Structure 1
Amino acid sequence: MEQRHLGRTGLRVSRIGLGTLTWGRDTGEEAAAEQLKTFWEAGGTLVDTADVYGGGEAEYLLGQLVGSLVPRRDLVIATKAGSVPDPDRRFDGSRGHLLAALDDSLDRLGTDYVDLWQVHAFDPATPLEETLQALDLAVGSGRARYAGISNFSGWQLAKAATWQLAAPGTRTRLASTQMEYSLLQRGVEREVLPAALDLGVGLLPSSPLGRGVLTGKYREGTPADSRGASQSLAAFVGPYLDEAAGRIVDAVVTAAQGLAVTPLQVALAWVRDRPGVVAPIVGARTSAQLGAALSVEALSLPEEICRALDDVSAPVHRYPDQDWSTL
């Protein structure tokens, strides 16, 4: 699999990443092992997890498989910290919480460092410089090799990345930002992606298949074995089952038929090759599903197909994004 630099850093990662959102909850040890082996054998390196996935079980499961199934040196392990199971405070970006969470993650993963450590979300209750100092301390201590953020808005990303660049050699440059991005969710194109491109921060798209909807599996209803039918993820999929999403899915299916490939391949190739994108993070229920996603490696969409998909899925951006000459 082709490798790409993560932002403006020396870290190289596979251009498709393996997500572990359901590991330890809906995905057991055997299925997780099959997925990791399939991913590794295809040349995949980037495995993304978080301390809250499965209540910590996703990290623990990954830790059990690394070394026994796949060599640690062959993987780029990325995890996140900052989300908390507290209805009154969903995110905690304090230095104390983040560093304690990192130590707990390392214990579950069974490793003394992670390759990429990410702040899971912006915490308005904590000074941003305190949050970023935790990244500096983690990298300075060797517990993390690179640092990134996740779910930061455009101005939050710009402020964080600029702060880190203000003192070269003493602060850790942000390598990446992880955000939802697909043909069904192009909101990052308004401010986040332009900021990331300008500041040299690589984009790691989550839910690149529109939470599974872009595969076309929901066109005739909700399959009983799908995430949309599961108690834990039905609300996650539901927002993308409306009429507007249906028109985009239809366009993806038409493009796939014309290219003699699958809708999954079309949707994934589109987001993988967008400017600023480093590696879409793909989560799968089975190793067969993951293998289908990894088969996109050989596919590059023709320019006319990309233009057609761009047009049908184009988000509406008005002031201040539109050209002032038209006002």
Structure 2
Amino acid sequence: MEERLLGGTGLRVSSLGLGTLTWSRDTDEHEAAELLRDFVDAGGTLVDTAAHYADGDAEQLVGSLLGTVVAREDVVLCTKAGVRRTERGGVVDASRGALLDGLDASLGRLGTDHVDLWLVQAPDPRTPMVETVGALEQALASGRARYVGLSNHPGWQTARAATLLGPGRLAAVEVEYSLLERGIEREVVPAAIDLGLGVLAWSPLGRGVLTGKYRHALPADSRAASSHLAGFVEPYLGRTALPVVEALVTAAEGLGCTPLEVALAWVLGRPQVASAVVGARTALQLRAALGTAVELPAEIVRALDEISSPAAGYPERR
């Protein structure tokens, strides 16, 4: 598997990342062990998790496999903080105390003294950015995080955090990016290019819709059919997505590959993308992604760009 530098840093990450959103909920410890083993055997390094995935149990499961299934030094470990669990559900909290407490708890669950990349998971309108950045600075200074970044933040906040942290210290932005979600191209990607940040693309398969499996039916074992993930997939099952999916299928048929392969190749060919994070639930799903090595002809890229082009207006476009 290809390795890429994360933006302007010296951190190398695999072009595909292993997402763990479903671990300890839909993916048990046996399946997770197989996923992680297959991923590392294929040359994968970037393992992406978060403190709030399965209320911390996903991190716990990742930690239990490091040192047993694969060596800790064989993975680039990324986790996220800033969403804490309350009786009312998840609450965004990017205050200094919440972030640093969350980092310490994550390290305990992961069974390690540091993470390679630590991200603030979501914007917190109640906490000044200078305070959030202060927590990132402290994590770097203490060695608990080797690199830091943001997740799901708009372009202006990304630029503000990079300015406060100082040149070259904000490493990455992790954002949803696929043929069905190209909103980051308006401001986040230009900011990342200008600031030298690496882009980690989560849900590069459009929450599974770009595999083509929802074209004619709702598979019983799919996320869209599950009680807790149906709402995650539903926004991409409407009429807006249909032309994009059909164009993707046509391109795949012409190239003699799968829609999944074309969708991943498109994302990995975009400016500043260091890794596409695939949240496979099963080893079978992961193997389908690990086998991708498609180079898209320029005319197919142009066709896919055109049919999936995001709406834009003033001031991004005049």
Which TM-score bucket, shorter chain as reference? Answer: over 0.9
Task: Give the aligned residue type for 1:94.
Answer: S
**Distance of 1:192 and 1:15 partners within structure 2:** 20
**Number of the residue aligned with 1:143:** 144
Conserved? CA contact 2:50–2:81, under 8 Å: yes
Task: Give the aligned residue type for 1:117.
Answer: W
**Distance of 1:157 and 1:136 partners within structure 2:** 15
**Number of the residue aligned with 1:231:** 227
TM-score (normalised: structure 1): 0.95
Task: Give the aligned residue type for 2:116.
Answer: D
What is the CA deviation profile of residues 252-308 of structure 1, one whole-angstrom value per residue up to 9, with x for unaligned ones? 000000000000000011001100111010011211110111111x21111111001
Alignment of 1:1-327 (within 5 A): 1-86=1-86, 87=88, 90-165=91-166, 173-296=169-292, 298-323=293-318
Unaligned runs of 5+ in 2: none
Unaligned runs of 5+ in 1: none
Q: Superposition RMSD on alpha carbons, in Å?
A: 1.1
**Distance of 1:207 and 1:199 partners within structure 2:** 23
- CA positional deviation for 1:164: 1.5
**Distance of 1:157 and 1:114 partners within structure 2:** 21
**Distance of 2:126 and 2:281 partners within structure 1:** 36
What is the CA deviation profile of residues 100-127 of structure 1, one whole-angstrom value per residue up to 9, with x for unaligned ones? 1111000100011100010011111111
**Distance of 1:322 and 1:111 partners within structure 2:** 46
**Distance of 1:111 and 1:316 partners within structure 2:** 43
- CA positional deviation for 1:40: 0.3
Hey, which of these two has a bigger chunk of strand by percent? 2
**Distance of 2:89 and 2:109 partners within structure 1:** 26
- CA positional deviation for 1:315: 1.0
Task: Give the aligned residue type for 1:13.
Answer: V
